[in-house]
A and B are shown apart, each in its own frame.
Chain A
Amino acid sequence: TQLLEQSPQFLSIQEGENLTVYCNSSSVFSSLQWYRQEPGEGPVLLVTVVTGGEVKKLKRLTFQFGDARKDSSLHITAAQPGDTGLYLCAGIQGAQKLVFGQGTRLTINP
């Protein structure tokens, strides 16, 4: 059983479109992180959200942590081909252990 469910698992859209990726759980996390992983590389941390209801922006990426700290979303505005990659959410539970979602494989077509 996956503690963190990401949706959609696959997403292919045209350059310039907007998209939202969701990360849901029935468990509460002390904080939640989003990573991007490109082929042949390890995941790279994009953001950490800690407070319920928190919203963080990173250029065209907007991250939101749910009020109950059980879910999160990643919204990309005006997607570009460079946004292509595997997006992973990860929740931190006690003892600093990261629990990852299955990932969303995003493809932005020029």
Chain B
Amino acid sequence: KAGVTQTPRYLIKTRGQQVTLSCSPISGHRSVSWYQQTPGQGLQFLFEYFSETQRNKGNFPGRFSGRQFSNSRSEMNVSTLELGDSALYLCASSDARSTDTQYFGPGTRLTVL
């Protein structure tokens, strides 16, 4: 099986712009979670989607949003970008039988100038 894929791998934006990141989970996995990784804060949970519904949400402002499609692919959107949004954004998928076991993608490195 192919692993979790994320596109794009690298992205440069300027303050005030918005960005959309994409994640394709492992085939058959219905749960997709998003994380933000920075040197200062480490890995922080953004949100989780299961069967097109947001099931869990972390403590991030409303500028961060996501959605999941019927094929389980997921997108996250960040509006009105700030310098502090520069980070590695990781997506992880898991199947319904073992949501504890998450498989991470390689991440999208976002740089906000």
Q: Do A and B bind each other?
A: yes
Closest to B101 in A: A45
A30 closest partner in B (C-beta): B100
Q: Which B-chain residue is minimally distant from A95 (CB atoms)?
A: B56
| Complex Cα spacing A92 to B44, Å | 13
Q: Tell me which of B42, B55, B104 contacts A42 (CB under 8 A).
A: B104
Task: Tell me the minimal C-beta distance from B99 to chain A in angstroms.
Answer: 5
Most chain A beta carbons < 10 A, residue from B4, B90, B100: B100
CA distance A68 to B24 in the complex (A): 37
Q: Contact mask A27-64 → B, CB, 8 Å, 1/0?
A: 00001010100001111110010000000000000000
Identify whether the interface residues of A are mostly helix, strand, loop, or mixed.
strand
- Mask, A74-106, CB within 8 Å of B = 1, is 000000000000001010100111111111000
Which interface class (under 10, 10 to 19, 20 to 34, 35 or more) fits A?
Answer: 20 to 34
Cβ-defined contact, A97 with B45, below 8 A: yes
Given A97-B45, A100-B43, A42-B100 contact (CB < 8 Å): no
- Closest chain A CB from B27 CB (angstroms): 17
The count of chain B contact residues (Cβ–Cβ below 8 Å) is: 22
Say yes or no: is B25 at the interface (Cβ < 8 Å to chain A): no
Could you name 17 residue pairs across A and B whose Cβ atoms are closer than 8 Å? A2-B42, A33-B100, A41-B107, A42-B4, A42-B90, A43-B43, A43-B104, A88-B43, A92-B100, A96-B48, A96-B55, A96-B99, A98-B33, A98-B35, A98-B45, A100-B44, A102-B42
Q: Which residues of A contact B (CB under 8 A)?
A: 2, 31, 33, 35, 40-45, 48, 88, 90, 92, 95-103
Interface residues of B, Cβ cutoff 8 Å to A: 4, 33, 35, 42-45, 48, 55-56, 58, 90, 92, 99-107
Q: Taking A2-B42, A43-B90, A96-B100 as given, write out 9 further A-B residue pairs in contact, using a Cβ cutoff of 8 Å, ordered by the A residue number.
A: A42-B104, A42-B107, A45-B102, A92-B100, A96-B99, A97-B48, A97-B58, A100-B42, A103-B43
